[in-house]
Amino acid sequence: MFKSGFIGIIGRPNVGKSTLMNHIVGEKIAITTPKPQTTRNRIMGIHNRTDGQFIFIDTPGIHEAFTPLNKLMVDTAVRTFGSTDLLLLLIEADKGVQRGDRQLIESLKEGPLPIILGINKIDLVKKDVLLPLIDELQKLFPFEEIIPLSALDGRGVDVLLDEIWKRLPEGAPLFPEDMMTDRTERFITAEVIREKIILLTHQEIPYATAVMVDSFKEDEDHRRIRIEATITVEKESQKGILIGKKGSMLKQIGSLARTDLEIFFASRIFLQLFVRVRKDWTQDKRMLKEFGYTEE
Protein backbone atom coordinates (compact mmCIF):
# COMPACT_ATOMS: atom_id res chain seq x y z
CA MET A 1 0.00 0.00 0.00
CA PHE A 2 1.42 3.41 -1.01
CA LYS A 3 0.29 6.61 0.67
CA SER A 4 1.00 10.27 0.07
CA GLY A 5 -0.21 13.48 1.65
CA PHE A 6 0.47 16.87 3.19
CA ILE A 7 1.46 17.36 6.83
CA GLY A 8 1.36 20.86 8.29
CA ILE A 9 3.95 21.48 11.03
CA ILE A 10 2.61 24.12 13.41
CA GLY A 11 3.54 25.55 16.79
CA ARG A 12 4.87 28.57 18.62
CA PRO A 13 8.03 30.28 17.35
CA ASN A 14 11.29 28.43 17.95
CA VAL A 15 9.84 25.04 18.93
CA GLY A 16 11.97 23.28 16.30
CA LYS A 17 9.65 23.00 13.28
CA SER A 18 12.33 23.81 10.70
CA THR A 19 14.94 21.65 12.43
CA LEU A 20 12.56 18.70 12.38
CA MET A 21 11.70 19.11 8.71
CA ASN A 22 15.37 19.43 7.75
CA HIS A 23 16.17 16.25 9.67
CA ILE A 24 13.38 14.30 7.98
CA VAL A 25 14.18 15.56 4.48
CA GLY A 26 17.91 15.07 4.99
CA GLU A 27 18.85 18.50 3.63
CA LYS A 28 18.87 21.98 5.09
CA ILE A 29 16.03 23.54 3.12
CA ALA A 30 14.67 25.70 5.95
CA ILE A 31 16.90 28.03 7.93
CA THR A 32 17.22 27.60 11.69
CA THR A 33 18.43 29.97 14.40
CA PRO A 34 17.93 30.25 18.18
CA LYS A 35 15.92 33.43 17.62
CA PRO A 36 12.11 33.33 17.33
CA GLN A 37 10.28 34.21 14.11
CA THR A 38 13.14 33.03 11.91
CA THR A 39 10.75 31.34 9.47
CA ARG A 40 8.67 33.86 7.52
CA ASN A 41 7.31 31.81 4.61
CA ARG A 42 5.60 28.48 4.05
CA ILE A 43 8.27 25.99 3.01
CA MET A 44 7.63 22.50 1.64
CA GLY A 45 9.93 19.57 2.39
CA ILE A 46 9.40 16.18 0.72
CA HIS A 47 10.40 12.85 2.27
CA ASN A 48 10.14 9.63 0.25
CA ARG A 49 10.00 6.04 1.50
CA THR A 50 9.17 2.81 -0.27
CA ASP A 51 5.63 2.91 1.10
CA GLY A 52 4.84 6.61 0.95
CA GLN A 53 5.59 10.24 0.18
CA PHE A 54 5.43 12.67 3.10
CA ILE A 55 5.01 16.31 2.09
CA PHE A 56 5.76 18.50 5.10
CA ILE A 57 4.74 22.15 5.23
CA ASP A 58 6.93 24.17 7.59
CA THR A 59 5.14 27.31 8.78
CA PRO A 60 6.05 30.48 10.67
CA GLY A 61 5.56 30.27 14.42
CA ILE A 62 2.14 31.39 15.63
CA HIS A 63 2.48 34.41 17.88
CA GLU A 64 0.81 37.72 18.73
CA ALA A 65 1.35 39.84 15.63
CA PHE A 66 1.36 43.64 15.55
CA THR A 67 3.16 44.62 12.33
CA PRO A 68 1.91 43.87 8.79
CA LEU A 69 4.87 41.51 8.26
CA ASN A 70 4.15 39.52 11.42
CA LYS A 71 0.43 39.36 10.63
CA LEU A 72 1.26 37.92 7.20
CA MET A 73 3.51 35.35 8.86
CA VAL A 74 0.77 34.21 11.25
CA ASP A 75 -1.83 34.18 8.44
CA THR A 76 0.51 31.94 6.44
CA ALA A 77 0.65 29.46 9.32
CA VAL A 78 -3.09 29.51 10.01
CA ARG A 79 -3.97 28.90 6.35
CA THR A 80 -2.05 25.63 6.61
CA PHE A 81 -4.87 24.31 8.78
CA GLY A 82 -7.14 24.03 5.75
CA SER A 83 -4.73 22.74 3.09
CA THR A 84 -3.25 19.59 4.64
CA ASP A 85 -4.30 16.02 5.42
CA LEU A 86 -2.85 16.06 8.91
CA LEU A 87 -1.44 18.52 11.42
CA LEU A 88 1.70 17.97 13.47
CA LEU A 89 1.73 20.27 16.49
CA LEU A 90 5.10 20.73 18.16
CA ILE A 91 5.74 21.88 21.72
CA GLU A 92 8.97 21.98 23.73
CA ALA A 93 9.68 19.36 26.40
CA ASP A 94 11.92 21.73 28.34
CA LYS A 95 9.38 24.56 28.42
CA GLY A 96 6.25 22.58 29.24
CA VAL A 97 2.82 23.74 28.14
CA GLN A 98 3.04 27.48 27.50
CA ARG A 99 0.16 29.94 27.23
CA GLY A 100 0.71 30.10 23.46
CA ASP A 101 0.46 26.30 23.28
CA ARG A 102 -2.85 26.33 25.11
CA GLN A 103 -4.24 29.06 22.85
CA LEU A 104 -3.19 27.15 19.76
CA ILE A 105 -4.66 23.87 21.01
CA GLU A 106 -7.92 25.67 21.81
CA SER A 107 -8.06 27.08 18.26
CA LEU A 108 -7.70 23.57 16.83
CA LYS A 109 -10.71 22.11 18.63
CA GLU A 110 -13.16 23.14 15.91
CA GLY A 111 -11.06 21.75 13.06
CA PRO A 112 -11.70 18.49 11.20
CA LEU A 113 -8.07 17.43 10.73
CA PRO A 114 -6.37 14.67 12.71
CA ILE A 115 -3.62 16.10 14.93
CA ILE A 116 -0.46 14.39 16.16
CA LEU A 117 1.41 16.09 18.98
CA GLY A 118 5.19 16.01 18.98
CA ILE A 119 6.99 16.84 22.21
CA ASN A 120 10.30 18.10 20.86
CA LYS A 121 13.67 18.68 22.54
CA ILE A 122 13.57 15.58 24.77
CA ASP A 123 17.37 15.72 24.60
CA LEU A 124 17.12 18.65 27.03
CA VAL A 125 15.07 16.95 29.79
CA LYS A 126 15.14 13.87 32.01
CA LYS A 127 12.64 11.07 31.43
CA ASP A 128 10.72 11.78 34.64
CA VAL A 129 9.65 15.14 33.20
CA LEU A 130 7.86 13.59 30.22
CA LEU A 131 5.16 11.46 31.90
CA PRO A 132 3.51 14.35 33.80
CA LEU A 133 3.74 16.49 30.66
CA ILE A 134 2.08 13.81 28.51
CA ASP A 135 -0.64 13.39 31.14
CA GLU A 136 -1.30 17.14 31.14
CA LEU A 137 -1.50 17.26 27.34
CA GLN A 138 -3.86 14.29 27.10
CA LYS A 139 -6.35 16.22 29.21
CA LEU A 140 -6.21 19.25 26.91
CA PHE A 141 -7.07 17.58 23.59
CA PRO A 142 -7.77 14.10 22.11
CA PHE A 143 -4.59 13.96 20.02
CA GLU A 144 -4.20 11.04 17.62
CA GLU A 145 -0.83 10.30 19.19
CA ILE A 146 1.61 12.05 21.52
CA ILE A 147 5.20 11.34 20.51
CA PRO A 148 8.30 12.48 22.40
CA LEU A 149 11.13 13.24 19.98
CA SER A 150 14.31 15.15 19.32
CA ALA A 151 14.57 16.96 16.01
CA LEU A 152 18.23 17.52 16.80
CA ASP A 153 19.43 13.93 17.25
CA GLY A 154 16.55 12.06 15.58
CA ARG A 155 15.14 10.18 18.57
CA GLY A 156 11.48 9.35 18.04
CA VAL A 157 11.41 10.61 14.45
CA ASP A 158 10.96 7.14 12.91
CA VAL A 159 8.07 6.49 15.30
CA LEU A 160 6.56 9.81 14.29
CA LEU A 161 6.82 8.98 10.57
CA ASP A 162 5.15 5.59 11.09
CA GLU A 163 2.24 7.20 12.95
CA ILE A 164 1.87 9.86 10.26
CA TRP A 165 1.90 7.18 7.52
CA LYS A 166 -1.04 5.38 9.17
CA ARG A 167 -3.15 8.50 8.77
CA LEU A 168 -2.21 9.58 5.24
CA PRO A 169 -4.59 8.84 2.35
CA GLU A 170 -3.75 6.10 -0.13
CA GLY A 171 -2.41 7.45 -3.40
CA ALA A 172 0.48 7.74 -5.80
CA PRO A 173 3.40 10.15 -5.22
CA LEU A 174 2.43 13.77 -5.77
CA PHE A 175 5.94 14.97 -6.63
CA PRO A 176 8.97 13.48 -8.44
CA GLU A 177 11.16 11.30 -6.23
CA ASP A 178 14.22 13.54 -6.67
CA MET A 179 12.36 16.69 -5.60
CA MET A 180 12.96 17.78 -1.99
CA THR A 181 11.22 21.18 -1.90
CA ASP A 182 8.98 23.44 -3.94
CA ARG A 183 11.19 26.45 -3.27
CA THR A 184 13.55 27.85 -5.89
CA GLU A 185 17.33 28.07 -5.73
CA ARG A 186 17.02 31.84 -5.40
CA PHE A 187 14.67 31.52 -2.42
CA ILE A 188 16.98 29.10 -0.61
CA THR A 189 19.97 31.33 -1.32
CA ALA A 190 18.19 34.38 0.10
CA GLU A 191 17.16 32.42 3.20
CA VAL A 192 20.70 31.20 3.85
CA ILE A 193 21.97 34.79 3.70
CA ARG A 194 19.17 35.93 6.02
CA GLU A 195 20.04 33.13 8.47
CA LYS A 196 23.61 34.41 8.76
CA ILE A 197 22.36 37.94 9.37
CA ILE A 198 20.10 36.67 12.17
CA LEU A 199 22.95 34.73 13.77
CA LEU A 200 25.49 37.56 13.58
CA THR A 201 23.37 40.61 14.46
CA HIS A 202 21.27 41.64 17.43
CA GLN A 203 18.29 43.69 18.61
CA GLU A 204 16.09 44.88 15.75
CA ILE A 205 18.45 44.06 12.86
CA PRO A 206 17.29 40.45 12.22
CA TYR A 207 13.65 41.53 12.11
CA ALA A 208 14.22 44.59 9.92
CA THR A 209 16.05 42.68 7.19
CA ALA A 210 14.92 41.25 3.85
CA VAL A 211 17.10 39.57 1.23
CA MET A 212 16.51 39.42 -2.51
CA VAL A 213 18.70 37.57 -5.01
CA ASP A 214 19.27 39.86 -7.98
CA SER A 215 21.33 37.45 -10.08
CA PHE A 216 21.92 33.68 -10.00
CA LYS A 217 24.09 32.44 -12.87
CA GLU A 218 25.81 29.11 -13.32
CA ASP A 219 29.25 29.61 -14.86
CA GLU A 220 29.93 26.19 -16.44
CA ASP A 221 33.35 27.19 -17.79
CA HIS A 222 34.63 27.92 -14.29
CA ARG A 223 32.30 25.42 -12.57
CA ARG A 224 30.86 27.91 -10.14
CA ILE A 225 27.68 29.87 -9.44
CA ARG A 226 27.79 33.66 -9.42
CA ILE A 227 25.24 35.21 -7.06
CA GLU A 228 24.41 38.84 -6.39
CA ALA A 229 22.00 39.65 -3.57
CA THR A 230 20.67 42.80 -1.94
CA ILE A 231 19.99 43.09 1.79
CA THR A 232 17.28 45.62 2.64
CA VAL A 233 17.01 47.32 6.03
CA GLU A 234 14.74 50.06 7.39
CA LYS A 235 17.26 52.63 8.66
CA GLU A 236 20.64 54.07 7.73
CA SER A 237 21.96 53.10 11.16
CA GLN A 238 21.03 49.46 10.46
CA LYS A 239 22.86 49.66 7.14
CA GLY A 240 26.00 50.81 8.93
CA ILE A 241 25.82 47.92 11.40
CA LEU A 242 25.31 45.37 8.61
CA ILE A 243 28.28 46.65 6.63
CA GLY A 244 30.49 46.99 9.70
CA LYS A 245 33.86 48.66 10.06
CA LYS A 246 35.61 48.53 6.67
CA GLY A 247 32.95 46.07 5.51
CA SER A 248 33.87 43.48 8.17
CA MET A 249 30.31 42.41 9.07
CA LEU A 250 29.18 42.08 5.46
CA LYS A 251 32.28 40.02 4.67
CA GLN A 252 31.54 37.70 7.60
CA ILE A 253 27.91 37.26 6.52
CA GLY A 254 29.03 36.52 2.97
CA SER A 255 31.70 34.06 4.06
CA LEU A 256 29.36 32.00 6.25
CA ALA A 257 26.59 32.05 3.65
CA ARG A 258 28.97 31.01 0.89
CA THR A 259 30.13 27.99 2.91
CA ASP A 260 26.57 26.71 3.36
CA LEU A 261 25.63 27.42 -0.24
CA GLU A 262 28.63 25.54 -1.57
CA ILE A 263 27.54 22.49 0.44
CA PHE A 264 23.92 22.76 -0.69
CA PHE A 265 24.62 23.35 -4.38
CA ALA A 266 27.78 21.17 -4.48
CA SER A 267 29.52 23.93 -6.40
CA ARG A 268 31.93 26.81 -5.87
CA ILE A 269 30.07 30.02 -5.10
CA PHE A 270 30.99 33.61 -5.92
CA LEU A 271 28.74 35.73 -3.69
CA GLN A 272 28.45 39.51 -3.81
CA LEU A 273 26.27 41.32 -1.28
CA PHE A 274 24.84 44.85 -1.31
CA VAL A 275 22.91 46.76 1.37
CA ARG A 276 20.17 49.31 0.79
CA VAL A 277 17.65 51.21 2.94
CA ARG A 278 13.89 51.16 2.38
CA LYS A 279 12.36 53.11 5.23
CA ASP A 280 9.80 51.13 7.30
CA TRP A 281 9.49 48.39 4.67
CA THR A 282 7.97 45.99 7.23
CA GLN A 283 4.99 48.36 7.47
CA ASP A 284 4.51 48.81 3.72
CA LYS A 285 2.22 46.28 2.02
CA ARG A 286 3.59 47.09 -1.44
CA MET A 287 7.16 46.40 -0.36
CA LEU A 288 6.11 43.30 1.57
CA LYS A 289 4.67 41.94 -1.66
CA GLU A 290 7.85 42.89 -3.54
CA PHE A 291 9.87 40.83 -1.04
CA GLY A 292 7.59 37.81 -1.40
CA TYR A 293 5.50 38.20 1.73
CA THR A 294 1.99 37.99 0.33
CA GLU A 295 -1.47 36.81 1.35
CA GLU A 296 -1.48 34.14 -1.36
Confidence of residue 130 (pLDDT cuts 50, 70, 90): very high
7 within 8 A of 84, measured Cβ to Cβ: yes
Reported pTM: 0.88
- Does 19 reside within a domain? yes
252 within 8 A of 271, measured Cβ to Cβ: no
Average pLDDT, the chain: 91
- Does 198 reside within a domain? yes
In degrees, rounded to 5, the angle at the alpha carbon of residue 140 between the alpha carbons of residues 138 and 145 is 40
Distances (CA, A) of 70 to 36, 217, 288, 293: 12, 32, 11, 10
Whether 158 and 248 share a structural domain: no
- Does 110 reside within a domain? yes
Distances (CA, A) of 18 to 1, 164, 206, 240: 29, 17, 17, 30
- Does 41 reside within a domain? yes
Whether 265 and 191 share a structural domain: yes
Q: What is the pLDDT of residues 174-218, one digit of tens each?
A: 999 999 999 999 999 999 999 999 999 998 899 999 999 999 999
CA dist 273 and 106 (Å) reads: 44
Whether 140 and 200 share a structural domain: no
- Does 142 reside within a domain? yes
The arithmetic mean of pLDDT across residues 104-122, rounded, is 91
Task: Residue 254: give the domain boundaries.
Answer: 185-290
Confidence of residue 171 (pLDDT cuts 50, 70, 90): very high
- Does 179 reside within a domain? no
Residue 83 has what pLDDT?
77
Q: What is the pLDDT of residues 35-91, one digit of tens each?
A: 887 887 889 999 999 999 999 999 877 766 557 777 777 777 676 666 789 999 999
Whether 74 and 202 share a structural domain: no
215: β partners: 228
Q: What is the pLDDT of residues 218-239, one digit of tens each?
A: 987 768 999 999 999 999 999 9
Whether 84 and 190 share a structural domain: no
CA dist 74 and 262 (Å) reads: 32
